[in-house]
Amino acid sequence: MANKLILRALEGETLPVPPIWMMRQAGRYLPEYRATRAQAGDFLSLCYTPDLAAEVTLQPIRRYGFDAAILFADILLIPDALGMDLWFVTGEGPRLSTITSESDFNTLKPADAIHDKLAPVYETVRILSRELPEETTLIGFAGAPWTVATYMIAGRGTPDQGPAHALKAENRALFQAVIDRLTEATITYLSAQIDAGAEVVKIFDSWAGSLKGQDFDDFALEPAKRIIAALKQKHPDIPVIAFPREAGERYEGFAKATGADCVALDNSVDAAWAAVHVQKDGCVQGNLASSHMVTGGQALVDETRRIVDAFSKGPHIFNLGHGITPDADPENVQLMIDTVRSHR
């Protein structure tokens, strides 16, 4: 652990230079990723071919020397393993069969039946645990139940998660059943990733910000709490990062309420505010706007330094506020890393 800076930050240590990784760091902005993606033939084949999934996970580590590698997979592999139809439309994203009624829900497999389908993912983790440099932390992940449910109910991504909100309003019992099944499956999935060698796991709730009031408590906070408690019971030494994206003021207290070791922050919250209201409870991760990876220049340098300074009095993992975009310039990623590591 002494060589793994991210594990030290997650333990609560304030480091002179924050460790760095980047959401979606294995992706389309890298030419080597695009070459491997072409070799795989399609996106799901890339996710389910361990040698290729491990290769794209390793590519940004070789190029940049990030302090962590995050498993290359997709948040919709759980619905796929639960028996839903899943495919990807080039240029448009995922498509799924939908869950809008009790009869649809009854076609889902039980949570403990996902392992056969997801066995290639666990093999990818095993390969990475062997091949990563000894100082590089291996992060596993899953989508949070609410976020995954929004895709399962709509059959695709939506700008406002409207179909999921509608089902939640019309048939809360059915909606709760979907959330419960996903919560159980996520526990099963993340625990298996840990058994295969993941040293940290992260829960991505990309659409948490569209939940308000009691709904946020019931469908963002409570599932995270259940998942983390179950993982901690079985794997007490494995840190968990939670990312309730666009939670706003609800970021405050989220770590204490859920048991998360770290809260990842999007770039809609100010780092100075988060240092006072969120970092007081432990490690924070974030939160540079991903647009800086496209535009670069002095603005990237200045904002990177501002974030490092804001979080310098507590445990911090430097990251973006959301995933890097396909139009990012790889040179700007290097500029960000150099800025973080040279700033005092």
Task: Tell me the catalytic residues.
Answer: 24, 28, 37, 74, 151
Please give the Cα distance from 152 to 186 (Å, whole number).
15
Report CA Rg, the chain: 19
In our burial notation (b when 16+ CB lie closer than 10 A, e otherwise), range 253-272 reads ebbebbbbbbbbbbbebebe
Residue pointed to by tokens 């040279």: 342
Please give the Cα distance from 57 to 230 (Å, whole number).
27
Pair 320, 293: CB distance under 8 Å: yes
CA end-to-end distance (rounded Å), the chain: 24
Complete DSSP assignment for 6-40 = HHHHHTT---SS--B--TT-SSTTSHHHHHHHHHH
Closest CA to 300 of 318, 317, 313, 312: 318
Pair 61, 71: CB distance under 8 Å: no
In our burial notation (b when 16+ CB lie closer than 10 A, e otherwise), range 78-117 reads bbbbbebebeeeeeeebbbebbbeeebbeebeebeebeeb
Partnered with residue 53 across adjacent β-strands are none
- Which structure tokens are listed for 204? 């991505």
Closest CA to 246 of 271, 278, 211, 222: 211
Pair 247, 209: CB distance under 8 Å: yes
Q: Which helix (H) or strand (E) holds 240?
A: strand 240-244
